[in-house]
Structure 1
Amino acid sequence: MRIPIIAVLTFAAITFLVTGFWDFVSDAILPNTIWGLYSRSFFENVLVEAHGAVLDLLVVGVILYWFEQRRARRDQIGRLEEELADLRLYRAPDAPYRTLGTIRRLLALDDSKALQISEVTLSHLELKDLNLSECNIYATVFTDSRIRNVHFKNCSLDAAIFAGVIMEHTQLTGSSLKRAKFQSAKLNGLNLTSCQIQNADFTSASLRSANFKGVDCKGVVFKNADLTSTNFIGARNLDPSAIATARCVRGLKSDDPRISAIVAAHKGK
């Protein structure tokens, strides 16, 4: 597109310059020149028509340029999606960095894109300032990563591995975390009220002031977890024996009398 644009701009510049300096051009170059139909009035008409042609070319050029940019953007997104798919099978030490870079480039091109990030490795990284919506992140490995200012909105994070992660200012709005592994993770203040966490494993995790209000906790494991000031009010299918295996339940909130008794018993120790 560069050569046609330069040609149109050059033609437009010549047309405007000749028109602007028409008095000089007509007096110095075409004072009384007549050759057949080529006369001063003929060239005046040519200039008028040239202005119309410039306008038409500019409009058509803008439209073509817009379509060309859209096509190039689609092609680039397609190439990045293929690269992301290939990285699922890539196990070299730089795999997490390459994967994260590809994700960021895709989001820069289309921040509403539902990415396929399943079964990739994003371990030992700092993931921050990301908005992931409707993404398939099934069985992705985040081991020992730091996740800051990341919003997972309506994402599938089933069977994802968050072992040893640190989550800060992270949102999991409407996301599915079934069978996800959070062993030894630091999830203080995490809000899970809109999530599905059945059979998730929070072994040895720090969940201080986390919010499980109204969440279905069927099959969830809290062995050696720190549940200080955690909110379980209205939680469904919460097994009291799972709470009993926690390391600390001081200040835990629950409307289940069985769990309240466990909290009271810990307080007396």
Structure 2
Amino acid sequence: MSRSSTSSSSFIERYVASVRADRPVLLAFILFLLLASLLVPLSLEVWLSDAGFRVNVLAEAYGMLMDLLLFGCLLLWLDQKADRRRRIDQYQNAINDFCGWDTEEATYRIVGNIRRLNRVNGVPDSLSDAYLADADLKGADLAEVSLSGAVLTGADLKEATLSGAYLGNADLSGADLYRADLSGAHFGVFPGMNAPERKRETVLEDAFLRGADLRDLRNATADTFRNARTLYKARLDPDLQAAIEEQYPELLEPRAADMRE
């Protein structure tokens, strides 16, 4: 191999390869300038003498401009989709890291990442075994999320969306579910699942369910709500409402201590 070919190869490895990897846009611009410096002088005579040539060049230029516009919009859309997916994965992984930790820091981190997910129209894949005692989840979107084993004692879930959520044996003692959407939620563990008898139900001790949407519930009976604080103005299916009126009528009655606008 000659010295000139060796030096050319070394130049490519040292400069061109690094620019291609680190600054691809710059490399493309340099190649454009090189090609333009070759083509323009060769076509200059035709450009000056042939009006039809200039018309064709302009037509091609406008066509290329439209292609660039459409391609740019497509790339922007794909990039936004990919960025959203990356952020959702990042937030979900952060939540998974803290599920099972019974600490205030875990609560703070999980709540923060739930909010971030909601801002990009995402919801957690799962919050099983999450420690969310006294968490501020007002208005949070937790639709179809598994909350089995989660600790939500005293949590603020006012106007939160829990439609289709799997509550399993979550502890919602003292939780504020004022006007929360629990339509289609599953209460208690699935039949056949291994769980101690005392941990087969969703705990609703002193849970505030005024105005909550409790229609189309799965695995829920009047006994499910026997220890709740109130069901006043809750939206219930007719059969469930009739059973509660018969067995626990006080849950459907207004109490001065529970009055809100």
Provide TM-score, normalisation by structure 2. Answer: 0.62
Aligned ranges 1:43-82 → 2 under 5 Å: 43=54, 45-82=56-93
Question: Cα gap change, 1:252/1:164 in structure 2, threshold over 3 Å: closer, same or farther?
Answer: closer
Q: Is the 8 A contact 2:144 2:166 kept in 1?
A: yes
Is the partner of 2:159 in helix, strand or coil?
strand
> What is the number of equivalent residue pairs in this alignment?
199
Question: Cα gap change, 1:134/1:114 in structure 2, threshold over 3 Å: closer, same or farther?
Answer: farther
Overall identity of the aligned pairs, in %: 24
Question: Cα gap change, 1:127/1:53 in structure 2, threshold over 3 Å: closer, same or farther?
Answer: same
| Runs of 5+ unmatched residues, structure 2 | 1-23, 33-42, 189-200, 254-261
CA distance in 1, matches of 2:160, 2:251: 28
Aligned ranges 1:153-172 → 2 under 5 Å: 153-172=163-182
CA distance in 2, matches of 1:173, 1:79: 29
Structure 2 residue 48 is matched with structure 1 residue 39: yes
Distance apart, 1:48 and its partner CA: 3.2
Distance apart, 1:149 and its partner CA: 0.9
Structure 2 residue 131 is matched with structure 1 residue 106: no
Provide TM-score, normalisation by structure 1. Answer: 0.61
In the alignment, what sits opposite 1:206?
Answer: 229
Is the partner of 1:157 in helix, strand or coil?
strand
| Runs of 5+ unmatched residues, structure 1 | 12-33, 216-230, 244-248, 254-269
Q: Deviations over 1:24-74 (max 9, x none)?
A: xxxxxxxxxx96434153555433322222122222222222222222222
CA distance in 2, matches of 1:85, 1:75: 15
CA distance in 2, matches of 1:62, 1:137: 39
In the alignment, what sits opposite 1:222?
Answer: none
Question: Cα gap change, 1:114/1:98 in structure 2, threshold over 3 Å: closer, same or farther?
Answer: closer
Aligned pair partner of 2:99 in 88, 91, 94: 88
Distance apart, 1:82 and its partner CA: 1.4
Q: Whose helix fraction is larger, Structure 1's or Structure 2's?
A: 2
Aligned ranges 1:1-269 → 2 under 5 Å: 36-39=45-48, 41=51, 42-43=53-54, 45-111=56-122, 113=123, 115-178=125-188, 179-190=201-212, 192-195=214-217, 196-197=219-220, 200=224, 202-203=226-227, 205-207=228-230, 209=232, 213-215=238-240, 231=241, 233-234=242-243
CA distance in 2, matches of 1:109, 1:37: 55
Is the partner of 1:133 in helix, strand or coil?
coil
Q: Is the 8 A contact 1:192 1:212 kept in 2?
A: yes
Is the partner of 2:141 in helix, strand or coil?
strand
CA distance in 2, matches of 1:251, 1:126: 25
Q: Is the 8 A contact 1:154 1:175 kept in 2?
A: yes
Pick 1 or 2: higher relative contact order, CA cutoff 8 A, min separation 6.
2
**Alignment RMSD (CA, Å):** 3.5
